[in-house]
Amino acid sequence: MVNPKAFVKELKTHDINKVITVPCSIFKDLIAYIENTEELKLIIPSNEAIAMALAAGDYLATEKIPVVMVQNSGLNNTLNSLTSLNFQYKIPIVYIISWRGEPLKTDAEEHNFMGANLLQILDTYQVPYSLLGTDYPEKINWAISTARESERPVALIMKNEFIDYYPRVNKKQNNNILDKWQAIDSIVDSQEDSIYVSTTGLISRALFNILKNKNKEDGRAFYMIGSMGHALGIGESIAAALPKAKVIVLDGDGGALMHLSSMVSVAKDKPKNLIHIILDNQTYNSTGGQATLSKNISFKKIGCGFKYKVSNIKNKEELIKAMNDSQMIGPTLIHVSINTSEKEGNEIQRINFSSEEIKKRFQKYIERFK
């Protein structure tokens, strides 16, 4: 394993002074080191396509080779920029791509395809690549020099446990009353026959466990395993197709910001049966607690701009009232400020259905609303 200090030092020898990243758990120790020491400027945009735009602008202004760190699933979000921006204008970058779902390694289901096909995808898009190992100084030198000489993107692939453990210094914690579990528990208690679309990561896992504990885990939830940022789009279409069903989208601040423009369709179609709940702890807790950008914006003002009926929630009583007041009068946006506390690993079971099973159980459950 490589010490994060040594890795950052090597980047700095090549005049790299910033890293643009959408977090992945494979990067968490490297990100923690950069956050703690501030040896590099860390930029965390809301999605990977924006990361590419920021990198391109930085190169145009400084002529320094940008470093863009993305999960291999997030690589897909960069491909339009790769072909119609970087290739077209000859703008170089160095990707650092985490290899989730690496063949012969156990990983979550959503990483199966990209894990198995990552190298083929890079070959198809004509991106030269190399795997990071103990010879990482030579690999970084190769990537920077190749990107500069060819004026094209180059990729370095980082496997799990490449970077040594680095303890993340706890940033100032918010003092919000509710945690994620308490908020979702209150939402489920206030609803009888609603259906759910829950965003990827810990929110879906919490919903699964809460429904199971209450003997309500009967197919009413479409748990998103991957495809971060698309919960609202899925929920909005379901609400439009099933006007008799109350559709609750459980989103996180990071997921909501990733594809914020999904709210435009809500503003246009105005589904009365849609409740969009954003559980906002201002972090990517699923990947190590890195900060999102939600502290810089007002979801209340954004919701009003997209013609939602909006509630800002701080405690359980307010949340229950907002849920009871949202009976088919939407679209409704309920913004819930939560803290960063999470259940311990042995207290929260992973979803034990495959993606296909989740789909089939959900489709069976929603037959009652047709």
The pLDDT tens digits for 7-58 are 999 999 999 999 999 999 999 999 999 999 999 999 999 999 999 999 999 9
Nearest CA-CA partner of 87 in 125, 142, 117, 120: 125
Same domain (yes/no): 105, 227: no
Q: Are residues 63 and 135 in the same domain?
A: yes
- What is the Cα–Cα distance from 205 to 250, expressed in whole angstroms? 12
Residue 46 within any structural domain of the chain? yes
Instruction: For the beta carbon of residue 170, count every other beta carbon within 10 angstroms.
Output: 8
**What is the mean pLDDT of the segment spanning 204-230?**
94
What the block records as the tokens of 94 is 């160095």
Residue 271 and residue 149 share a domain:
no
Q: Which of 158, 190, 220 is the last residue of a domain?
A: 158
The answer to whether the beta carbons of residues 178 and 319 sit under 8 Å apart is: yes
Distance CA 6, CA 319 (A): 47
The predicted structure's pLDDT at residue 349: 87
Q: Residues of the chain with pLDDT > 70: what percent?
A: 98
Domain around 265? 180-369
First to last CA, the chain: 55
Domain count, the chain: 2
In the chain, % of residues over pLDDT 90: 83
pLDDT digits (tens, 9 = 90+) for 85-96: 999 999 999 999
CA distance 52 to 129: 18
Q: Is residue 353's pLDDT more than 90?
A: yes
Residues 230 and 150 in one domain: no
* Same domain for 143 and 206: no
* 173 has a pLDDT exceeding 80: no
Residues 16 and 128 in one domain: yes
**How many Cβ atoms sit within 10 Å of the Cβ of residue 288?**
18
H, E, C per residue of the chain: CECHHHHHHHHHHCCCCEEEECCCHHHHHHHHHHHHHCCCEEECCCCHHHHHHHHHHHHHHHCCCCEEEEEHHHHHHHHHHHHHHHHHHCCCCEEEEECCCCCCCCCCHHHHHHHHHHHHHHHHCCCCEEECCCCHHHHHHHHHHHHHHHCCCEEEEECCCCECCCCCCCCCCCCCCECHHHHHHHHHHCCCCCEEEECCCHHHHHHHHHHHHCCCCCCCEEECCCCCCCHHHHHHHHHHHCCCCCEEEEEEHHHHHHCCCHHHHHHHHCCCCEEEEEEECCEEHHHCCEECCHHHCCHHHHHHHCCCEEEEECCHHHHHHHHHHCCCCCCEEEEEEECCCCCCHHHCCCCCCCHHHHHHHHHHHHHHHC
- The answer to whether the CB of 35 falls within 8 A of the CB of 42 is yes
- Provide the token pair at 5: 């200090």
Global pTM value: 0.90
How far is 194 from 248, CA to CA, in rounded Å? 7
Residue 27 inside a domain? The answer is: yes
Domain of residue 98, CATH code: 3.40.50.970
CA gap 264, 262 in Å, rounded: 5
End residue of a domain, out of 158, 188, 215: 158
pLDDT above 70 (res 170): no
Q: Inform me whether the pLDDT recorded for 346 exceeds 80.
A: no
Considering 158, 192, 225, which residue would you say is the last residue of a domain?
Answer: 158
Kindly state whether residues 119 and 250 are assigned to the same domain: no
Mean pLDDT score, 330-355:
87
**Shared domain check, 212 and 70:** no
Residue 79: exposed, middle, or buried by beta-carbon count in 10 A (0-12, 13-18, 19+)?
A: middle
Residues 194 and 150 reside in one and the same domain: no
Confidence of residue 80 (pLDDT cuts 50, 70, 90): very high
Query: What integer is the mean pLDDT of 260-288?
Result: 91
